[in-house]
């Protein structure tokens, strides 16, 4: 199950409108690990037969099926913070949290 906050939905719509195409979707994917290990991020991609596919208010979201089974559920929020927080210089960004933490 995917849970998307209203703030995140607005930003996902903007992201998809700017970057998405006719056959593409926003993929929730495992991104390279840093000091805290792997995390989840967002990329524009096309779905495959093994993906979990969800459409939230017209925004197509996809997750690799095996990752979705492992995480059980994923929540997406968006925060507007202070500079230097949330992993970026602006302090704003998506907060993607799996129910079961990723420990590969």
Domain that holds residue 50: 2-98
Q: Give the rounded percent of residues in the chain with a pLDDT score beyond 90.
A: 57
User: Considering the domain boundaries, does residue 103 fall inside one?
Assistant: no
Q: Give the rounded percent of residues in the chain with a pLDDT score beyond 70.
A: 85
> Are 5 and 76 in contact, with CB atoms under 8 Å apart?
yes
User: Considering the domain boundaries, does residue 104 fall inside one?
Assistant: no
**What is the average per-residue pLDDT within 73-81?**
89
What pLDDT shows up at residue 47? 93
How many domains, in total, are found in the chain? 1
What pLDDT shows up at residue 82? 62
| pTM (two decimals) | 0.81
User: Considering the domain boundaries, does residue 73 fall inside one?
Assistant: yes
Residue 86 has pLDDT above 80, yes or no: no
User: Considering the domain boundaries, does residue 48 fall inside one?
Assistant: yes
16-21: which pairs have CB atoms within 8 A and are 24 or more residues apart?
Answer: 16/44, 16/59, 16/60, 19/44, 20/44, 20/60
For residue 30, give the CATH number of its domain: 2.60.300.12
Residue 89 has pLDDT above 70, yes or no: no
For 42-76, the pLDDT digits (tens) are: 999 999 999 999 998 889 999 999 999 989 999 99
User: Considering the domain boundaries, does residue 67 fall inside one?
Assistant: yes
User: Considering the domain boundaries, does residue 60 fall inside one?
Assistant: yes
User: Considering the domain boundaries, does residue 68 fall inside one?
Assistant: yes
What pLDDT shows up at residue 20? 85
């Amino acid at each position: 199950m995917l849970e998307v906050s209203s703030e995140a939905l607005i930003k996902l719509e903007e992201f998809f409108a700017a970057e998405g195409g006719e056959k593409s979707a926003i993929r929730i994917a495992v991104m390279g690990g840093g000091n805290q290990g792997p995390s989840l991020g967002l990329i524009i991609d096309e779905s495959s037969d093994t993906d979990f596919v969800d459409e939230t208010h017209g925004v197509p979201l996809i997750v690799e099926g095996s990752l979705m089974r492992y995480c059980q559920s994923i929540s997406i929020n968006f925060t507007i913070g202070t500079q230097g927080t949330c992993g970026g210089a602006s302090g704003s960004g998506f907060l993607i949290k799996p129910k079961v933490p990723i420990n590969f």
